[in-house]
Amino acid sequence: MKRNTEIYDSVAEMLGQTPMLRLHRIPEADGIKCEMLVKCEYLSYVGGSIKDRIAFQMVNNAEKEGLIKPGDTLVAPSSGNTGTGVALASVLKGYNLEVIYSKKFTEDKARILRALGAKVYKCPTGVAPRSEESDVGMGIALRGSPGLHTIEQFYDPGNPQAHIENTGPEIWEQTKGKVDYLVTCAGSGGHYTGLSTYLKQMNPDLKTIVVDPVGSILAQPESLNTTREPWLVEAAGKDHVSHIQQRNLVDEWYKIPDRETFRTARRIIKEEGILCGGSCGAVLAGALRLAKTLPADKTIVMVFPDSIRNYLSTFADNNWMEAQGFMSKEDLVTEQTKYFRSKTFKDLDASDLPLVDGNTTIGEAMPLFEQHDTLHLPVVDEEKNLLGVIAVCNINNLLLNEKANKSTQVKDAILKGKPQVIEDEAMALDIVEEIVQEHCFIVYVKREEGKQAVASAKIVSTIGFIKKTNAPGF
């Protein structure tokens, strides 16, 4: 395994030099012949995105030009990633930071900004792109205000400069000059502009493909932009064209809908083990369209801008994906789930456990755990009504912390919360699994005929479930 043996004095020294990764599983599954490489900007050592590069570049340039000095306040209109990069630069260089942040974007990003000491001001969505209510418009309105300096990625030439001077040469060196196609997304447009500028100088035959969310207006020709409705993917697309992007450098635009974007991002995570952000799904979706037309001697380089870290509450969450209509419960069904649907609780072959009277002492009950090879025992009252469950680990913890002793009755050591009880041994095993995953164990009770009294009980814990369902022959 290759290791980084450097010792750094500042995270700023760790900027750039992100790895290049060759994809295998997805190209093979899709019958792709050409080489597909990923520039892993989501692994940026500084703030976790490609925007780290431009943030430091723009702040450094402002310092060199004498526009800012330590103690000043920076203002950054940002969808989160640039704001994080500027916040990190501010921490290291001694600036205050105020970020103007659209309500469209995840709270995950805002939490990171606040942790870095930035003030976060949210602006509404759906407003005119340069109105004073928008993030960009607020940045423009604050230009020249005493004590403030706006870091404007949509206007600052330092944005593409960072990629002309750093990211582009890294890609050229990592591929040893063998790159035929660049596929990336666009927001401010800085990285495709900078990368295309550099790489086309090195290889005039290089083609740049930029993916654009359905709803965004960046793609050309204009006829591609058939709808202006909002889109959900972050770090891609825009409702206006920034001053620093050069769309003449793009050879072809692909429009990618949210559903394809997020499903492809989830595929990247599951099949390639890459913990990427949602916009990476749009990039790969576009690259796969292209790759299916290419021979084996061609190389595609994709830029994956950021990581899953910012999107744990959105596309990384199954419930969110289902609520948006991008995924159904059946999409999550595995071959094991299908097999479990053919099995029942009874197939776990759990043993009946002794019903422990609630007045029994801990000292009397403790040997029962070992005798019956179980972590849990059911507790009943004098009428055999189920009171709850005791667990050996919980009892040991109570004894260790002197909150109970061996004379304590087990009814006073019952686990908090109502146990998950079933009365049907024919319950499908995939449902049983869901209960065990959420609640750590499941209780099956058989009641005395015509009564609520418990005749017998079985408990399956997480450990027992995993052991049984993975045993040879199950």
51 is catalytic: yes
| ∠ Cα 182 183 188 (to 5°) | 105
Strand order in the sheet with 119-123: 119-123, 96-102, 73-78, 148-150
Task: Spot the catalytic one: 2, 33, 39, 51.
Answer: 51
Integer CA distances (angstroms), 160 to 155, 196, 246, 274, in order = 10, 10, 10, 26
- Where does 119-204 show beta strands of DSSP type E? 119-123, 148-150, 181-185
Strand order in the sheet with 20-22: 20-22, 35-40, 299-304, 181-185, 207-213, 252-256
Integer CA distances (angstroms), 394 to 49, 415, 423, 440, in order = 43, 8, 25, 13
Question: What is the C-alpha to C-alpha distance for residues 308 and 280, in angstroms, rounded to an integer?
Answer: 10
Q: What share of the chain is helix, strand, coil (3-state, %, to 5)?
A: 40, 20, 40
Integer CA distances (angstroms), 17 to 14, 74, 224, in order = 8, 27, 35
Token pair recorded at residue 53: 């590069």
Place of tokens 């990069």: 85
Residues marked active site are found at 51
